[in-house]
């Protein structure tokens, strides 16, 4: 198998894997129970984990059972599968690069960076986009050094 054919097969498998958890027809108001406030120094466990649990670690996506691309965003797993861990999907960035949200794959994917994957929409795929405050809270946590707090 040529390198180009192998790379195309890998890309197709990854895209199919990601699409398997998506429900693009969801009209659910997934912000209803989550606070939508800007937090200068957010805590992973108190401020971000509820968002990751409700919006990312759900049916077939980033759960311990599925662990899409090795990324688990369920409580008790998020820190170890994101901070200083290289993304295995696309651009080889750290999923979370402490102190640098602009070069953190996780932040770029939730805010919809089309330079990473022009054909893939922003994350989360299976629910409504995160709010501007939720995305900024992730950036603030990363810029604070991404503490395990």
Greatest Cα pair distance, the chain, in angstroms, is 51
d(CA 130, CA 100): 20
In a domain, 149, yes or no: no
HSE on the CB side for 140, CA within 13 Å? 16
For residue 59, the enclosing domain spans 3-143
Number of domains composing the chain: 1
Span 77-89, average pLDDT: 94
**Is 148 within the bounds of a domain?**
no
Q: Tell me the whole-structure pTM to 2 decimals.
A: 0.79
Contact 90, 116 (CB under 8 A): yes
pLDDT digits (tens, 9 = 90+) for 89-144: 777 899 999 999 999 999 999 998 888 877 777 899 877 899 999 999 999 999 99
Decide if 85 is inside a domain: yes
In degrees and rounded to multiples of 5, residue 138 shows phi and psi of: -65, -45
């Amino acid at each position: 198998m040529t390198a180009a054919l192998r790379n195309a097969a890998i890309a197709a498998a990854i895209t199919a894997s990601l699409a398997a958890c998506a429900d693009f027809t969801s009209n659910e108001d997934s912000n209803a129970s989550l606070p939508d406030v800007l937090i200068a120094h957010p805590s992973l466990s108190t401020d971000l984990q509820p968002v990751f649990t409700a919006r990312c670690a759900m049916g077939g996506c980033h759960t311990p059972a599925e662990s899409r691309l090795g990324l688990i965003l369920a409580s008790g797993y998020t820190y170890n599968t994101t901070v200083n861990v290289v993304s295995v999907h696309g651009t080889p960035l750290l999923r979370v690069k402490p102190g640098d949200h602009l070069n953190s794959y996780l932040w770029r994917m939730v805010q919809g960076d089309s330079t990473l994957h022009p054909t893939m929409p922003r994350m989360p795929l299976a629910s409504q986009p995160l709010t501007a405050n939720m995305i900024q809270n992730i950036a603030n946590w990363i810029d604070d050094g991404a503490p395990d707090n």
